[in-house]
Amino acid sequence: MRGVWPAALTMFDAEGRLDEDATAAHLDLLVTEGVHGLVVGGTSGEFVALTDAERRRLLEVAVEAVAGRVAILAGTGTYATSATIALTRHAQEAGAAAALVVLPYFQRPSRGEVLGHYRRVAAATDLPLWVYNIPANAATDPLTTADLAGLYREGVVSGVKSTLPTVHQIHELRAATDEGFRAFYGGFTAPLEAMAGGAHGWISGLLNVAPATAVELWEAVGAGDLPRARDAWARLLPLRRLVTDPAVRGASDLALYRGLLRIWGRPAGFCRPPLRDLDPAELSMLEKTLQAAPPPHATSTPPR
């Protein structure tokens, strides 16, 4: 488990229902673009807007659509330990390669309670567990390198999606663990630095709209070709800036990703409220902004 892993969007129809066909088509396009794996039911998959039954069905649709071509990391985390165990057991039965378990949210469990949460989930399933270390969207402090290395030595977890404001945790984790542990970079500000520092891979919602160029970045770093890697990252920067400094104010990153896919004629689906989609004027504004910075695809311009 290494390489470029989009945190895949979940496609909904205009009435907010799970759109299985559009979801499958999107996942198929990502695989065709050369990604090495997929995260299903993560933050960019709007897991917080899904019922448990929908989360199970989403994963089943993904496993069927991917058909073994790449591995799937299934988002199974919830606040409640018992619900997380149930979703993780289902992910194992459905054919996921591992489960991504987010830090508990809303309530504020202590560090000891958070560690106990992961230990109990691991004891109840045979599926490898990854920590989704994203304190900005959780109600607890991030797990430290010592916490993660300790859980790994206990046999509780086997990986992490490190979505922190800084990238040095990747270097520290590589030094504190062995090759049995997977340290993935989970942001979109410094993937080149993370890869150069030893990240086993990159997980991000941004990869929904630029998978081929991200794969080029990964391959260039792996080959030690830093000029080529810098070039690939330079071509990704305009899309990253669309999220960090959006031309369309008040829209979520997911709405922007969907807008880009819609402009390119690809399956885009709709957001589920309270998130909203871009209106026609905003979509036009996004397209004009995009024309000033052409799509960064490594192989071809997306179909229109």
CA 51 to chain centre: 19
**Residues 118, 132, 152, 257: which is the catalytic one?**
132
**Residues 118, 161, 185, 257: which is the catalytic one?**
161
User: Distance between CA atoms of 7 and 253, rounded to whole angstroms?
Assistant: 12
Nearest to 276 by CA among 293, 296, 260, 259: 259
List the structure tokens of 1: 């488990």
Q: What Rg, from alpha-carbon coordinates, does the chain have?
A: 18
Nearest to 91 by CA among 76, 105, 106, 70: 76
Phi, psi of 183 (to 5 degrees): -110, 105
Has 132 been annotated as catalytic? yes
Contact 10/23 with Cβ under 8 angstroms? yes
Nearest to 181 by CA among 205, 204, 164, 198: 198
Nearest to 145 by CA among 108, 174, 114: 174
List the structure tokens of 227: 């000029």
For 72, the enclosing helix (H) or strand (E) is: strand 71-75
Active site residues: 132, 161
